[in-house]
């Protein structure tokens, strides 16, 4: 019985930590916009790579894409041989910007 309780507690702690890692309220929207323009829009312009703006995804889609410190984001760019220069704070700032500008937000952002 003790092992089951410990296992449940461990799962709860680990899942709580991963939820706290991506906190839009702690991110800086203005810095996220700057990062998006400098690191995303340079390639995702419709010529070099598929056009991408915060309004191309919903908040839930952006969260899935950026969770776990951008694991999926980095994996996709590694496959395309693109090196991203983003740290944990940058990912959180990017999440904050994409959250306020997402397709299902009050003011979807095109970042143009």
Note down pLDDT in tens along the chain; length 112 residues: 555 544 454 444 444 444 445 676 789 999 999 999 999 999 999 898 999 999 999 999 999 999 999 999 999 999 999 999 999 999 999 999 999 999 999 999 887 6
Is 106 within a domain?
no
| pLDDT score for 72 | 94
Residue at 19 is within a domain? yes
Distance CA 95, CA 70 (A): 10
Closest CA to 29 of 98, 110, 104: 98
Residue pair 54/48 in contact (Cβ under 8 Å)? The answer is no
Asked if residue 69 belongs to a domain, the reply is yes
Query: Within a domain: residue 111?
Result: no
- pLDDT at position 111 is 73
Count the domains in the chain. Answer: 1
Residue 107: CB atoms within 10 Å = 9
In a domain, 108, yes or no: no
How long a stretch of residues is the chain? Answer: 112
- pTM summary value: 0.75
Domain range holding 17? 2-101
What local confidence, expressed as pLDDT, does residue 8 receive?
55
Domain assignment present for residue 107? The answer is no
In a domain, 36, yes or no: yes
């Amino acid at each position: 019985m003790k092992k089951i309780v410990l296992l449940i507690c461990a799962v709860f702690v680990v899942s709580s930590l991963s939820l706290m890692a991506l906190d839009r309220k702690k991110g800086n929207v203005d810095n996220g916009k700057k990062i998006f323009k400098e690191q995303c829009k340079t390639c995702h312009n419709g010529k070099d790579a598929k056009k991408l703006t915060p309004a191309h995804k919903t908040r839930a889609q952006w969260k899935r894409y950026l969770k776990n410190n951008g694991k999926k984001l980095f994996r996709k760019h590694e496959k395309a041989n693109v090196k991203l220069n983003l740290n944990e704070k940058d990912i959180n700032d990017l999440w904050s910007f994409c959250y306020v500008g997402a397709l299902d937000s009050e003011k979807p952002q095109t970042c143009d």
